[in-house]
Every structure is written in C-alpha cells, then in structure tokens.
Amino acid sequence: MLRQLPPLLDPNLLVGIATGDDAAVYRLGKDLALVQTVDFFTPIVDNPYDYGAIAAANALSDVYAMGGRPILALNIVGFPIELPVEILGRVLLGGAEKAQEAGVIIVGGHTIDDKEPKYGMAVTGIVRPGYQVANVGAKGGDLLVLTKPLGSGVITTAAKNEAVTPEVLEEAVRVMSTLNRKASEVMVSVGVHACTDVTGFGLVGHLLGMTTGSKVGARLQLAQIPFMRGAWQAVEAGFVPGGTGRNLEAADGRVRWDAEISTEAQVLLCDAQTSGGLLMAVSPRKAKRLVKELKEAGVPVVAVIGEVTPDSQGTIEVVL
Ligand code: CO
Ligand code: CO
C-alpha cells in the first residue's frame, strides 16, 4: 500500500520502502545512519509476560535484519480498560526485560483503550552507512542460511485450541523470544549479500520478496529446513492460521513444488511466523565461515536450507 504514496526522494534515505524492507535506513552523517522501524500485534500466547517478550524481540528483529544495532524503543500499547491493569504490567515487564537483554532503553510510549490488546515497539537503531543489509542484493550461487526453526504460526494456533503439550509451546515461546542479535552481529562481521527476518509472510513469502527484488530465483531443500517440535503434528491436525493460508495462495504460480513435497510441507514453508529467524543470502566463499561463527556465537539453529539460482523471475523451487 505504501508504494501508492508519493515517492521518497531524499538522498540520505539509504533504504526506504522500495525494497520491501521492514526498517528504513537514513544517513545522518558520513559514519552514522539511523535505522527506524515499528511493529506490534495482538496476543500470540496466553502468558502476558511471554507475549511482551516475544513482541519486543519481534520489533527489535527488524533492526537486526538490517545489520543495525537497536538503541532506543517506544512502547505501543492498546489495552481494554476493563481488564486488570496487572496484566498489562506483565506484558510491559516482558518487553522491558527483553529490551534490557538487547541493551535497548525504552524511553516512553503511548497507550490507548482498545477492545483487543496490542503491544509492540517503535525502535530506533544505528548502523554505519554502507554496512546496512537489505532484503535485496542476493546473487546467483549464494547459499541461504536460516537461524530459527519454522512452525510458530501453526503451533500457537494449536495452543489457542489447547492442542499442544506444554513442552511444545515452551519451545515455541523460547524460539520466538530469542533475539536475533547474535545472528545479526555475526552477519555484519562476515558480510552477506541480503537478509530479511522471517515473519508474517512465512519463509517462502519473505524469500519471494528477496528473490523478486534481487532478480534471482532460489532452490530450497526441504530436508535441510529446521522445524519446531510439534509443527508437523499441528498442521496434520488442521491448525493453520489465516495468514498462513493466504501466504500459500500468494505463493501460487511463483513456487514450483516438487511432486514429493506434501501439502503439509507446503503449509509449513508458508507458515506465518512471529519473531522468526534471519534468512541470509551469502556468497559460497563466505558461507562456511558464516555458519561456523553463527554456531560459535551460540545461535541455536543454523541451517543452510538452499541456494540462490539465476532466474530473473524470482521463482522458488522446492525439492525434497
Ligand atoms: Co516487522
Ligand atoms: Co521483518
């Protein structure tokens, strides 16, 4: 929708809306650029503290995906006036402790009365001009590296229907509230061609944004893609969120699913994620070092899930 608004022509705007990135990068001087982003959503889990932590990790992630360092945040809150205010306190505490972990200070915010709770943050970060990493820039032959397992959409949908074990939900919460900080720091120190975080459009949707914008294609290998425990069971039991269904439709005609790729697998690759991992396109020359350093930095999941192909149409092929 933003693309229908007047064009942005400021020469200091290094990354705007044209590349489909979730954060803007604006040069303030020779050595300093701002990274600006905002994100909020309705409760993804019942526990208010976890919800706050996940929403904060998710909002910060768009700065990390640009290779930036978040420094300041403002809370954005919608909360029903008739609910106990202690619940909101737990949400904000979850967000505040996550921000603290990230070295980010929350310097204010705004709350409105709202029938459906909403929480998130506007985040300001910094980056050295030229060192920002955008959604586009992937090159044929690059390897695709993913830093979190998939499945948070189907698992949280199953959890809302009380159809997952506490262990499965716990793991999903842990994954969603993990900061993409270390992954981002390693990414910047090694150097990659493109990066996005995997969120509402799912792995395939965000990868389509990358391939289309970079005028390349991609081949994904299902066997190399990491999934959260319980993800397949949730899909098989039919717990597919609305956003995931729309992502699957949007992939139609732009993704070549190999004959062996089941419908369940297609759903999972399109599953709308919350606070997902970073998806990076890295030159094969640097891939080994990237993977090694990500693992050494303690990034819990590091998977080479496929490669960038020379296909100007942005098509994704998924093989077993
Ligand atoms: Co976002
Ligand atoms: Co994003």
Q: How far is the CA of 120 from the centre of ligand 1 (A)?
A: 10
pLDDT band for 176, please (50, 70, 90 cuts).
very high
**What is the distance, to the nearest Å, from the Cα of residue 15 to the centroid of all Cα atoms in its chain?**
18
How confident is residue 19, by pLDDT bands cut at 50, 70 and 90?
confident
Average pLDDT over the chain, rounded to an integer:
96
Q: Which ligand is nearest to the CA of 198?
A: 2
Q: What is the mean pLDDT of residues 205-218?
A: 97
- Taking the CA of 58 as reference, the closest ligand is 1
Class of domain 2-127: alpha beta
> What percent of the chain clears pLDDT 90, i.e. is strictly above it?
94
Residue of 12, 18, 17 lying closest to 34 (CA atoms):
12
**Fold equal for 2-127 and 143-319:** no
Mean pLDDT, residues 120-139: 96
How far, in Å, is the centroid of ligand 2 from the Cα of 197?
5
The domain defined by 143-319 folds into Phosphoribosyl-aminoimidazole Synthetase; Chain A, domain 2 (3.90.650)
Distance from the CA of 121 to the center of ligand 2, in angstroms?
Answer: 13
Tens of pLDDT, residue by residue over 216-266, are 999 999 999 999 999 999 999 999 999 999 999 999 999 999 999 999 999
**Cα-to-centroid distance, 45 and ligand 2 (Å):** 20
Ligand nearest to the CA of 19: 2
Residue 18 banded pLDDT, cuts 50, 70, 90: confident
Find the 278 Cα to ligand 1 centroid distance in Å: 12
The pLDDT value given to residue 158 = 97
How far is the centre of ligand 2, averaged over its atoms, from the C-alpha of 314 (Å)? 19
Q: Give domain limits for the chain.
A: 2-127, 143-319
Give long-range contacts, CB 8 A cutoff, 24+ apart: 86-92.
87/48, 88/48, 88/117, 90/47, 90/48, 90/49, 90/52, 91/48, 91/49, 91/51, 91/52, 91/55, 91/117, 91/119, 92/52, 92/119
Ligand nearest to the CA of 40: 1
CA distance 249 to 243: 10
Instruction: Report the greatest alpha carbon distance in the chain.
Output: 57
Q: Using the mean position of ligand 1's atoms as its centre, give its distance from the Cα of residue 225 in Å.
A: 22
Ligand 1 centroid–CA 111 distance in Å is 20
pLDDT at 9: 84
Residue 7 or 288, more confident: 288
pTM (2 decimals)?
0.96
